[in-house]
C-alpha cells in the first residue's frame, strides 16, 4: 500500500463549507489526526482510525502523521478553517524539516479550507474588502509585546484586521490590552465586529463602535474583525471600500 499525507482544512464549522476535495481525501483515509474537537467532526467508519489529541501537541501530532504515512497509511491531518492559517500545515512542515530525510519525499498535499476569518467577514458584509491582515493574539508562541507591536503597525498602515484567539480562560486580560491600544490610536468610532461560532447554529455577529467594545465580548470561539479608518456601515452590513 502506497502511503500519503493530506493536510486538510475542514472549514469554519458548517458541513456545507467543507470542500469536495477535502471530503474525497477523508473518504480515502485510513487515519485522521487532529485536535479532539476537529476529529470529532469526522464520522467513524470501518477501516478508519481516528487519532484525537490535545490542542498543544502540534509537533507530536505532525510527527505521528508523517510516521504513519511513511509506513504506507493514508493519513489526513485536519484543522478547522484553512490548515495554513494558524493551523497544522506549518507544524507538519516543521516536523518534516526536523525528521528523517525520506519524509521530504512523501506524497503530501495541503488542501485549503474556508477560514473562520473569511466566513465571519462574509456574515458581516465585506469588512475585509480592501487591504487587511490577520493576527493571532495568543502569546503561546510569541510574546505579548510582539503581538501589541504588530497590532500597532497594522493600525499605522491602516489595514483592516482579523484577530484569531482573542481571549482564553488562561489569559483573560490580554484582549483588554489590545482594545486599550486600539482606543489610544484609532479613535472611538472605529468599527469592530465580534463573530462567534461562525457558520454554526449558534452563530452570533455583533458590530459596535470601538468605544462600546469590551474584552468580555470575545472568547476562543470568536473572530474579531477591526475595520480600517474607511470601514463603514450600510444598512445592517459593514464594508470597507475598495479604494484607499
Please write down the HEC assignment for all residues of 44-113.
Answer: CCCCCEEEEECCCCHHHHHHHHHHHHHCCCEEEEEECECCCCCCHHHHHHHHHHHCCHHHHHCCEEEECC
Closest among 206, 158, 146 to 182, alpha carbons compared: 158
**DSSP code, position 210:** G
Contact 82, 88 (CB under 8 A): no
d(CA 212, CA 208): 6
Does the predicted model carry a pTM greater than 0.75?
yes
β-bridge partners, 11 = 81
Across 147-160, average pLDDT: 97
Residue 193 has pLDDT above 60, yes or no: yes
Across 154-172, average pLDDT: 90
Q: Are strands 191-196 and 222-226 parallel, antiparallel or unpaired?
A: antiparallel
Q: Reduced to 3 states, what is the DSSP secondary structure of residue 206? A: strand
Closest among 30, 2, 200 to 119, alpha carbons compared: 200
Res 173: pLDDT: 83
Burial code (b: 16+ CB inside 10 Å, e: under 16) for 204-222 equals: ebebeebeebebebbbeeb
Q: Which residues contact 176 (CB under 8 A, 6 or more apart)?
A: 215
Closest among 201, 243, 193, 242 to 222, alpha carbons compared: 193
Across 165-178, average pLDDT: 85
**Which three cell numbers mark 98?**
526536523
Across 135-153, average pLDDT: 93
189 — pLDDT class (breaks 50, 70, 90): very high
Amino acid at each position: 500500500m502506497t502511503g500519503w499525507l493530506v493536510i486538510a482544512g475542514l472549514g469554519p464549522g458548517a458541513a456545507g463549507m467543507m470542500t469536495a476535495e477535502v471530503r474525497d481525501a477523508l473518504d480515502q483515509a485510513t487515519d485522521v489526526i487532529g485536535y479532539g474537537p476537529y476529529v470529532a467532526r469526522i464520522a467513524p467508519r470501518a477501516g478508519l482510525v481516528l487519532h484525537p489529541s490535545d490542542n498543544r501537541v502540534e509537533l507530536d501530532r505532525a510527527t505521528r502523521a508523517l510516521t504513519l504515512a511513511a509506513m504506507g497509511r493514508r493519513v489526513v491531518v485536519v484543522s478547522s478553517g484553512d490548515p495554513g492559517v494558524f493551523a497544522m500545515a506549518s507544524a507538519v512542515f516543521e516536523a518534516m524539516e526536523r525528521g528523517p530525510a525520506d519524509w521530504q519525499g512523501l506524497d503530501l498535499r495541503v488542501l485549503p479550507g474556508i477560514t473562520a476569518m473569511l466566513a465571519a467577514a462574509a456574515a458581516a458584509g465585506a469588512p475585509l474588502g480592501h487591504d487587511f491582515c490577520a493576527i493571532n493574539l495568543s502569546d503561546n508562541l510569541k510574546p505579548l509585546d510582539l503581538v501589541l507591536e504588530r497590532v500597532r503597525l497594522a493600525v499605522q498602515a491602516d489595514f483592516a484586521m482579523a484577530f484569531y484567539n482573542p481571549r482564553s480562560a488562561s489569559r483573560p486580560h490580554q484582549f483588554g490590552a489590545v482594545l486599550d491600544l486600539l482606543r489610544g490610536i484609532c479613535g472611538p468610532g472605529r468599527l469592530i465586529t465580534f463573530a462567534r461560532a461562525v457558520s454554526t447554529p449558534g452563530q452570533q455577529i455583533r458590530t459596535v463602535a470601538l468605544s462600546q467594545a469590551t474584552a468580555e465580548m470575545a472568547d476562543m470561539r470568536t473572530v474579531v474583525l477591526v475595520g480600517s479608518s474607511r470601514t463603514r456601515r450600510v444598512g445592517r452590513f459593514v464594508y470597507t471600500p475598495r479604494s484607499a
